[in-house]
Amino acid sequence: MTVRAFLNHYPQIGEGVFVDESAVVIGEVSVGAQSSVWPGAVLRGDVNFIRIGERSNIQDLTVLHVSHRTEAAPEGSPVVIGNDVTVGHQATLHGCTIGNHVLIGMGSTVLDDAVIEDRVIVGAGSLVPPRKRLQSGYLYLGSPVKQVRPLSEEELAHLDDSARHYVELAQQYIGMQEE
């Protein structure tokens, strides 16, 4: 695993976190307890910060990056990801905020200052434009995304099941590393 500082910022990795050896985590990045970062993922917190909550998973080949602070945008656009979030393979999250219990489908892109509230599913291959806000409790699909329908009880339960599955899988990987 490549976990390295940028300037005076070194990534903070929580207890029970799995970071695959082929993932790259740079700079002002914090990863909460029992979260996981899978093969080929890049988390680049060089010009702003990335914060990932607990029990969230950043799957294979996903890219997380940020926008720098400017006079017009003094806070810039960090990446903030809540708890129990599943970010599918090859997603790109750039300077956005993701709530708790969210699933970002494979190959989706979420752009600067977009906000995804709690308990949302963004379908595979979707594009969330800059500054778009996705309301809690819905499925969103398309490029650009459109609200499709409320999530079913089964889909809501799946959000937690997905996060739990990745916590368990990550613990198996950690166990193999310790042998």
Class of domain 2-178: mainly beta
Quick: pLDDT tens for 114-160: 999 999 999 999 999 999 999 999 999 999 999 999 999 999 999 99
Q: Please give the average per-residue pLDDT across 96-104, as a whole number.
A: 98
Buried b vs exposed e over 114-131: b needs ≥16 C-beta within 10 Å?
bbbbbbbbbbbbbbbeee
Q: Quick one: tokens of 49?
A: 């910060």
| 3-class DSSP state of 59 | coil
> What are the residue boundaries of the structural domains of the chain, listed by start?
2-178
CA distance 173 to 165: 13
Q: What is the pLDDT of residue 1?
A: 57
Quick: pLDDT tens for 82-93: 999 999 999 999
